[in-house]
Amino acid sequence: MSKNTTDTYWMKKALSLAMKGTGTVSPNPRVGCVIVNRFNEIIGTGFHQAYGGPHAEIIAIRSLKEAADGATMYLTLEPCTIHGKTPACAPVVCDLGLSRAVIGSIDPNPQVAGRGVQMLKDSGVDVTMGVGTKEANWLIRSFKKFITTGLPYVTVKVAQSLDGGIASSTGVSKWISSEESRKEVHALRGEVDAVLVGKQTALIDNPQLTVRELKGRNPLRFVFDRNLTLPHYLHIFTDSEHSKTIVCCAPSMKNSEKAKELAKLGVRVLPVPIDKKGNFKIIEFLGILSDQFFVSHLLVEGGGAVVSAFAQAACIDEFQLFVAPFLFGAPKSMATLPVALSPDEASKYSIVEHKKSGADLHIIAVKTDSGKEFSERMF
């Protein structure tokens, strides 16, 4: 194999390792590392396993089967140069005696942002960039938003018909998507820190909002219920994960009898600022998620009113659309969106992936300003 082919092969291995940190490292990024000797043999591997724990390259170094003199390190994210919950990694990597380092992505943390790469170069390591970059950027997309803005990355999941309906004219929405698509959603829940639904979705669908049929961490569950009117028999209040349920209400309801009843059930009540129209202030809500719950990735699962609120606030970073091959006719649509008078004025998203999901079409679209980082992914 040529060097380029070999680099792509080993970086793919590192990216696969990084995925193993899904659900356990947030708000830190998912990172994988492979160390290969001069005979093209793996001598060390590692991935970031838990928030606050050792980083991928440190775990790989600890796993070394032999000295790394003249070896090549494949790392999905550049080594850090700051002392956080763990010491800086770049100085340790520099002392290994590597001949090369192949790095997928520059760290978006302004305190690092290329300094790790420069430190390697200054120590005599030949650094190669641009291998697996789009995949590496995809892995850290929520971390990038969180570390640069202090707000969570917001993904909206929508299951809809060909004519754009998320429910029939009578409100029926189970099941629009295929079984395969529902498994995809469960995997997505395992990736994010929190899911959010509105009051009507919680009442009509009575969702569990948990990860099932595959292994994964159950996310926090938020529900918008301004006046705390939801019945207490719902799954989110009665199942084994009820302590992960947070009900968002108007500040005036914080100390109400309804709030006290939920507290007795082991469910947390969270006051969220509301605007003059009585709607939750989305930006403030996202700030609370970040500051109080360390949520770096939020999955909005509906319904239309909640999606509309995020769209009106221009806070949707990503859409995960599952389009089922049928027509509702006069359906209930996804959201009331900001009106664009022409295509030039419309909010722009880039389609970074589209694939079959059972009978459905699964489309992933990301805000155009960041979507270009992920489009035409290498692998």
pLDDT in tens, 217-241: 899 999 999 999 999 999 999 999 9
For residue 302, the model assigns a pLDDT of: 79
pLDDT category at 342 given cuts 50, 70, 90 is low
For residue 31, the model assigns a pLDDT of: 96
For residue 340, the model assigns a pLDDT of: 62
Share of the chain above pLDDT 90, in %: 70
pLDDT category at 332 given cuts 50, 70, 90 is low
Residue 57 has pLDDT above 70, yes or no: yes
Q: Which residues are catalytic?
A: 57
Residue 253 has pLDDT above 90, yes or no: yes
Residue 341 has pLDDT above 80, yes or no: no
pLDDT category at 19 given cuts 50, 70, 90 is very high
Q: Within this chain, do residues 211 and 313 fall inside the same structural domain, yes or no?
A: yes
What's the whole-number average pLDDT of the chain? 89
d(CA 112, CA 81): 6
Domain that holds residue 269: 147-371
pLDDT category at 216 given cuts 50, 70, 90 is confident
Residue 87 has pLDDT above 70, yes or no: yes
Q: Within this chain, do residues 77 and 183 fall inside the same structural domain, yes or no?
A: no
Does 376 fall in a domain? Answer: no
Report which of 129, 90, 134, 126 is spatially closest to residue 109, judged by C-alpha positions.
90
Q: Within this chain, do residues 151 and 263 fall inside the same structural domain, yes or no?
A: yes
Q: Is the pTM of this model over 0.75?
A: yes
pLDDT category at 275 given cuts 50, 70, 90 is very high
d(CA 104, CA 136): 6
What phi and psi, each to the nearest 5 degrees, are found at residue 322?
-115, 105
Q: Within this chain, do residues 132 and 169 fall inside the same structural domain, yes or no?
A: no
For residue 151, the model assigns a pLDDT of: 96
For residue 376, the model assigns a pLDDT of: 55
For residue 2, the model assigns a pLDDT of: 55
Q: How many domains does the chain have?
A: 2
Residue 1 has pLDDT above 70, yes or no: no
**Buried-exposed string 123-145: b where 16+ CB fall within 10 A, e elsewhere:** bebebeeebbbbbbbbbbbbbbb
Give me the CATH number covering residue 226: 3.40.430.10
Does 135 fall in a domain? Answer: yes
Report which of 196, 76, 170, 72 is spatially closest to residue 130, judged by C-alpha positions.
76
d(CA 185, CA 158): 10
Does 25 fall in a domain? Answer: yes
Does 278 fall in a domain? Answer: yes
Does 379 fall in a domain? Answer: no
What mean pLDDT is predicted for residues 176-185? 88
Report which of 304, 6, 5 is spatially closest to residue 156, judged by C-alpha positions.
304
Residue 131 has pLDDT above 80, yes or no: yes
Q: Within this chain, do residues 240 and 327 fall inside the same structural domain, yes or no?
A: yes
d(CA 191, CA 186): 9
